[in-house]
Amino acid sequence: MAKRALSDLRVIDISQGIAGPYATKLLADAGANVTKIEPPAGDYTRRLGPFPGDVPDPEKSGLYLHLNTSKRSVTLDVSVASGQVILKKLLAAADVLVCGEKASTLRAWGLSYDDLRGEFPDLIVAQVSPFGATGPYAEYEGNNITAMAMSTIMYNTGEPDREPLATGGQAGEYLGGVQLWIGILAALENRERNGGGDHVDVSMAEAVAAADEYNAAMYGFQGAVRRRYYSRHIFGYPNDIMECADGYIVVIPGASGFPSPLQPDTISPMALLMEDIELDKTVFFQQMGERMVHWREFEALISPYLMSKSAMEIVMTAQALRLPFAFVPTASDLLSDEHLAERGFFEHQQHPRAGAITLPGAPFKMSVTPLTESPAPLRGEANADVLVGELGYETGDLTILSDRGVI
Amino acid sequence: MTDAQQLPLEGIRVIDLAQVFAGPACTRILGDLGADVIRFESANRMDVTRNLIITDNDGIDHHWHRASYFVIRNTNKREMVVDLAKEEGREIVRKLVAGADILVESFTPRVMANFGLDYEALSKIKPDLIMCSLSGYGQYGSMRDFGAYGMGLEPASGISSITGYAGGPPMRSGLSFTDPYSGFVGAGAILTALRYRRRTGKGQYIDLSEQEAAIPVMAAALLDYQMNGRLAERRGDRSGYAAPQGCYRCAGDDRWAVISCENDAEFERLARATGHAEWLDDARFATVTARFEHHDELDAAITAWTSQRDHYDVMRTLQAAGVKAAAVLDGKEILFDPHFQARHHFDIVDQPLLGKRPVQRHLAAKFTRFEAKARRAAPLLGEHNDEVLREIGYSDEQIAKLKEDAVIADQPNLPVPAQYVAAALKLPYDRYLEHGILQAVDADYREQLGIAE
C-alpha cells in the first residue's frame, strides 16, 4: 500500500462550495481522514454541475466530483442544535474543523473558535470566508468575483476602455482554498511546536490580493497606479496572447529575444523566428517603450507571420530559438495533451454513479507519498459508518434523525 | 504570541535556489512561518526581479538594491551570491544542505543535474532532505525542457481559454497568475512533506509543474467538455449560475464595482436597495432564467444606478442590504482600504536605502498564536555571504579566498556600465500616463502613505 503523508490527520469539514472543499481535498488526497459534513440537501456544488447530458443529478455534478475526492460524506444539519451536538461528538476525535461560513453564522451555531476552544483546546478551526472573520467588512457577503475585485488583479485585467475582467474558472475560490490549506498545515506545525489549537482565518479577498504581482508595490515604491492595458506586463509588449493561423499562442520574446546593444552584429531570435533580418532595424524591435506605446503598429508588423503559421509550428520553432513561447490550450486540448499524458497527470476514475470520468490529477508529484484520488462520496454514504460505527448511535436512531431532517 | 513561543518553522533551514516569482513566493511563506531561508543568487545572472519596478522609477546607483519587485517577494530571507559554475560554489551548497531541511529550486530541469545537485546526489548528503523543484512543465515529459516564463504558464494551464470578454480572444490576467498560485501550492506541498518527515523521518522529492498545479482551476470546464462535448465560452464577468453578475461602471475616472446575485432573494434585495422595486414585477427580471435571457437590459438598468455613485458607495449601500458587491480596487486604493488595513494585509518593512515600505502578506491566513508577517527587510545582494559561511565553519581566510576567486560576491557583474542599465530600467512614465498604461503617478505618495522619512 502506498504511503500516505497525512494518514494520522482527522478533519471534519462543514464547508461547501469550492474554497473549503478544495483545501480538504488536498488534505484527503494526501491521506487525511476527511469527513465531509453536508446539509441534508447536499453541498450546493451538487446542484451546480456540469452534469452528463445537462441532466441535473446531485450524484453526477462534475464540480462536486472533482472537489470531494478521497472524502467520506455524512449528512448533518449543523444549523440546528441536535446537529451541533452530533458534530461536537465528532470534533472530540478531530484535529481540524474546516468551515466556510462568515463569523456571525459560526457564532450563531456555537461553532466559532471562541465557542469551541474551551472544550477542544487542541482543535484547529479553519475558516475561509469572503472577507475574513474580523475587520469592517467581516459581515459582507461575497464570492469569487468580490475577491477578484478587491485584489487589484481584476482592475489590471482586460482592455483599457472596457470593464475590468475577473480571471476565469473561479480562480479566487481556488486561491482561497490553497491559502486555507497552507494555513491549516502551518497551524498543525505550530501545534507540534508550541502546543494548542488555533483559529485559521482566511479572507478570500486577501488570498487573491496575496497573489498581486506588483500593483500595490508600484504605488508603495513609486507612487504609480497601474491600470489594465490588454492584460500586459508593464515591462513590455508583447508577452501576451496573439492570434495565429489555427488559434492562439503566447508571444514571449524573453530577456534576449530582441536585438541586444551588447551584440550588435548578431541577428535577434525574434527576427530569426520571423525569417526577416530587416526587422532588427525597426524601432519596435529596438525599443521596448515603442512596442508598448505603439503596440498596434508592432502587431501589424508581426501579425502576417503569425497568421501564416500554426500554433505548433510557431511555438516549436520559437522554443528551438530559446524563446519561451507557450500554447493556449482549451479544455479539450489539455485532455488530449501528450506531455500531460506522459506525466500521467489526469486521473481516470470510475465513479459508482457518474461512471468513467477524467479529473485533474495531483497538483504536485511527491516521490514517497504521492497524492491519490478515490471517487467522491455519494451523499450521506458514511452516515451509518460514522454515527453508528464511531459515535455509537443505534441504527434506529438514524431513522429518527433522518425523519427530523437532521441527517 | 508570547516571547517564549517560537514561530512554527523556527529552526527549519531552507536552501532557496529559486528565482523570480513562483519559487520566491513559495519560500517567502516558509520564511514568514519562521524558517531560516537562505537564498542564492549569481553575480553573473542576478534574479531578474532585481531589475524590475525600481523605486521611484529611478535606476541610479545600485538599482538592484532598489527593486520593489524583489523586495516584496524576499523579505524574511538571508542571501548569498555564489557562483555555482565553480566547484567551490557547489561545495558551499553541499555543506549547507548537510544541515538543511528543505531545498527549493526553480531552474529548468537539466540544470541541477548538470551541477551534480539533483535529489539523488543531495539526499546522499542529507537523507531526510525535502527537495521541491518548481518548473514550468515538470521534470519529465516531452515539454520538460521548454523555456517557461510566468506569462506563458497561465495560458498553458488552460485558464486563459476561459478568461476574456464574450466573443473576444482568450486573455491573460494582468499578472503571471500561475506564478504566485503555484508558489503557494509549493509551500503547502512542502508543509505536507514536512509533516510526513516528522512522523517517519523520511524526506522526499517534489516535482511541481506550474502548468499542472493550476489545471484544477479548470476542472468544471474539463468536466463539461467530457460530459457534454462543450467548450466553455468566455463570458466576461458573468456567471453560469448567478444573474445578474457583472462589473459595473461607477462615478469617477475608471471606477467600477462588481455585483453578484446568486438567487431571487438577493436580486430582490438589489432591486429594493437601488430603489427599483419595479424590477421585481418586470417579467424580464422576475426569475433567474429571465434574468439570464435579459442580462444586457438588466446590466444597463444597474449601470444607470451605479454610474451615479462612487464605487465604495455602491459596495457599502448594497452590502448593507445583503447583496454581494465589492469595489474594484487599484494598487493605491488597496493600501488605503480600511479593511485591508485593519487586517494588516501590508506590513511596513524598513528596507535599507529605501526606508519604510508597505509589503503585502504572502500567506493570507491569520492565526491567533502567531503572525506570518514580513519581519525583516529583503536582503541586499550577497548580504549574508560571510555570516552564513562562518556558520558552516568557513574561516576568515577561506572566505577571503572565495571572494578573491569570485566564488562569492556582493556586486553584480553587469554586462555594461551601470549607468546604461539604469537608463534602460527607467520606464517612460510620462508616455505611459498619456497612453493610459498608468492611471496616475503621485509625487507625494510617501506622505500620503505616512511612510515619509
Q: How many CA atoms lie less than 13 Å away from A99 in the CB half-sphere? A: 27
* Confidence check: pLDDT of A31 > 50: yes
Please report, for chain A, the start and end positions of each structural domain, with discontinuous segments joined by +: 10-211+346-403, 240-330
Residue B45, all three cell numbers: 545572472
CATH number of the domain located at residue range(s) A240-330 in this protein: 3.30.1540
B149-167 b/e with 16+ CB inside 10 Å = b? Answer: bbbbbbbbbbbbbbbbbee
Q: Which residues of B fall within a CB distance of 8 Å from A151?
A: 329, 334
Asked whether the beta carbons of residue A168 and residue B234 sit closer than 8 angstroms, the reply is yes
Q: How many CA atoms lie less than 13 Å away from A345 in the CB half-sphere? A: 29
- DSSP for A189-208, written as a single string: HHHHHH-S-EEEEEEHHHHH
- DSSP for A242-296, written as a single string: EEETTEEEEE---TTSS--TTSTTSPPHHHHHTT-GGGGGSHHHH-HHHHHHTHH
Asked whether the beta carbons of residue A248 and residue B176 sit closer than 8 angstroms, the reply is no
- Superfamily grouping for domain B245-335: formyl-coa transferase, domain 3 (3.30.1540.10)
| The pLDDT value given to residue A236 | 75
Asked whether the beta carbons of residue B223 and residue A222 sit closer than 8 angstroms, the reply is no
Q: A58-67, A274-283, B157-166, B176-185 — which is least confidently predicted?
A: A274-283
Q: Rounded distance, CA B265 to CA B284, Å?
A: 16
A140 interfaces chain B, CB cutoff of 8 Å: yes
B260-278 average pLDDT score: 97
Q: What is the mean pLDDT of chain B?
A: 95
B158 interfaces chain A, CB cutoff of 8 Å: yes
Q: Which residues of B fall within a CB distance of 8 Å from A185?
A: 188, 191-192, 195
| The pLDDT value given to residue A293 | 84
Asked whether the beta carbons of residue B151 and residue A182 sit closer than 8 angstroms, the reply is no
| The pLDDT value given to residue A201 | 98
Please report, for chain B, the start and end positions of each structural domain, with discontinuous segments joined by +: 13-216+343-445, 245-335
Q: Which residues pair with B347 in a beta bridge?
A: B359
| The pLDDT value given to residue A130 | 97
Q: What single-letter amino acid sits at A245? A: A
Q: Are A273 and A318 in contact (CB under 8 A)?
A: yes
Q: Which residues pair with A36 in a beta bridge?
A: A13, A73
Q: Pairing mode, if any, of strands A240-244 and A224-226? A: unpaired
| The pLDDT value given to residue A2 | 61
| The pLDDT value given to residue B1 | 46
In the A/B pair of chains, how many CB contacts fall below 8 A?
582
Interface of B with A in 88-107 (CB under 8 A): none
Give how far Cα B177 sits from Cα of A167, A175, A214, B183, B189, Å.
Answer: 9, 10, 12, 10, 19
Q: Which residues neighbour B448 within 8 Å (Cβ) at sequence distance 6 or greater?
A: B442
The CA distance from B409 to the nearest CA of chain A, in Å, is 23
Q: Which residues of B fall within a CB distance of 8 Å from A239?
A: 149, 151
Q: Which residues of A fall within a CB distance of 8 Å from B7?
A: 190
Helix (H) or strand (E) holding B348: strand B346-351
The CA distance from B50 to the nearest CA of chain A, in Å, is 13
Q: Is A134 helix (H, G, I), strand (E, B) or coil?
A: coil
* Confidence check: pLDDT of A407 > 90: no
Give how far Cα A240 sits from Cα of A169, B155, B392, Å.
Answer: 19, 9, 45
The CA distance from A41 to the nearest CA of chain B, in Å, is 17
Q: Rounded distance, CA B62 to CA B88, Å?
A: 27
Q: Which residues of A fall within a CB distance of 8 Å from B357?
A: 220-221
Partner-chain residue, chosen from B52, B119, B143, that has the shortest CB–CB distance to A235: B52
Neighbours of B376 (CB within 10 A): 13
Neighbours of B58 (CB within 10 A): 13
The residue among B40, B28, B39, B31 whose CA lies nearest residue B10 is: B31
Q: Is A8 helix (H, G, I), strand (E, B) or coil?
A: coil
Asked whether the beta carbons of residue A203 and residue B343 sit closer than 8 angstroms, the reply is yes
**B448 CA to centre of own chain:** 25
Interface of A with B in 273-302 (CB under 8 A): 289, 292-293
Q: Which residues neighbour A320 within 8 Å (Cβ) at sequence distance 6 or greater?
A: none
Asked whether the beta carbons of residue A170 and residue B69 sit closer than 8 angstroms, the reply is no
Cell numbers 502613505 correspond to what residue? B449
Q: Is B71 helix (H, G, I), strand (E, B) or coil?
A: helix
| The pLDDT value given to residue B422 | 81
User: pLDDT of A250-298, one tens digit each?
Assistant: 999 987 899 987 777 889 999 999 999 999 999 999 888 888 888 899 9
Q: What single-letter amino acid sits at B6? A: Q
* Confidence check: pLDDT of B4 > 70: no
B51-77 average pLDDT score: 92
* Confidence check: pLDDT of B2 > 70: no
User: pLDDT of A91-112, one tens digit each?
Assistant: 999 999 999 999 999 999 999 9
Phi and psi (nearest 5°) for B14? -115, 125
Q: Which residues neighbour B265 within 8 Å (Cβ) at sequence distance 6 or greater?
A: none
Interface of A with B in 68-97 (CB under 8 A): none
The CA distance from B295 to the nearest CA of chain A, in Å, is 16
| The pLDDT value given to residue B369 | 96
Cell numbers 442544535 correspond to what residue? A81
Interface of B with A in 107-146 (CB under 8 A): 119, 132, 136-138, 140-144, 146
Asked whether the beta carbons of residue B188 and residue A332 sit closer than 8 angstroms, the reply is no
Q: Which residues pair with A202 in a beta bridge?
A: A128
| The pLDDT value given to residue B419 | 80
Q: What is the mean pLDDT of chain A?
A: 95
The CA distance from B244 to the nearest CA of chain A, in Å, is 12
Q: Percent of chain A at pLDDT above 90?
A: 87
Interface of A with B in 163-222 (CB under 8 A): 163-171, 174-175, 178-183, 185-190, 192-194, 196, 198-203, 205-207, 209-222
Q: Rounded distance, CA A204 to CA A209, Å?
A: 9
Helix (H) or strand (E) holding A403: helix A395-403
A123 interfaces chain B, CB cutoff of 8 Å: no
Asked whether the beta carbons of residue B218 and residue A334 sit closer than 8 angstroms, the reply is yes
| The pLDDT value given to residue A38 | 97
Partner-chain residue, chosen from A171, A324, A331, that has the shortest CB–CB distance to B232: A331
| The pLDDT value given to residue A307 | 97
Residue B446, all three cell numbers: 510617501
A2 interfaces chain B, CB cutoff of 8 Å: no
The CA distance from B390 to the nearest CA of chain A, in Å, is 28
Residue A353, all three cell numbers: 454513479
Asked whether the beta carbons of residue B363 and residue A210 sit closer than 8 angstroms, the reply is yes
- CATH class of the A10-211+346-403 domain in this structure: alpha beta
Contacts 24+ apart (CB under 8 A), B315-322: B315/A140, B315/B257, B317/B273, B318/B259, B318/B270, B318/B273, B318/B274, B319/A137, B319/A140, B319/A141, B320/B273, B321/B269, B321/B270, B321/B272, B321/B273, B322/A141, B322/B266, B322/B269
Q: What is the largest CA-CA distance in chain B?
A: 86
Q: Which residues of A fall within a CB distance of 8 Å from B120?
A: none
The residue among A32, A146, A40 whose CA lies nearest residue A98 is: A32
| The pLDDT value given to residue A262 | 76
The CA distance from B399 to the nearest CA of chain A, in Å, is 33
Q: B2-16, B96-110, B133-147, B250-264 — which is least confidently predicted?
A: B2-16
| The pLDDT value given to residue B418 | 80
* Confidence check: pLDDT of A158 > 90: yes
| The pLDDT value given to residue B140 | 97
Q: Pairing mode, if any, of strands B13-17 and B36-41? A: parallel
* Confidence check: pLDDT of A64 > 90: yes
The residue among B79, B75, B67, B72 whose CA lies nearest residue B16 is: B79
The domain made up of B13-216+343-445 has a fold known as Rossmann fold (3.40.50)
Provide the sign of the torsion angle of the four alpha carbons A147, A153, A155, A159, taken in this order. Answer: negative
Asked whether the beta carbons of residue A207 and residue B364 sit closer than 8 angstroms, the reply is yes
Q: Rounded distance, CA B261 to CA B287, Å?
A: 12
Asked whether the beta carbons of residue B172 and residue A231 sit closer than 8 angstroms, the reply is yes
Phi and psi (nearest 5°) for B139? -85, -15
Q: Rounded distance, CA B101 to CA A118, Å?
A: 35
Q: Which residues of A fall within a CB distance of 8 Å from B325?
A: 146
Q: Which residues of A fall within a CB distance of 8 Å from B245?
A: 145
Residue B139, all three cell numbers: 521534470
Q: Are A172 and A145 in contact (CB under 8 A)?
A: yes
- DSSP for B300-338, written as a single string: HHHHHHHTTS-HHHHHHHHHHTT-EEEE---TTHHHH-H
Asked whether the beta carbons of residue B48 and residue A255 sit closer than 8 angstroms, the reply is yes
| The pLDDT value given to residue B425 | 86
B60-78 average pLDDT score: 93
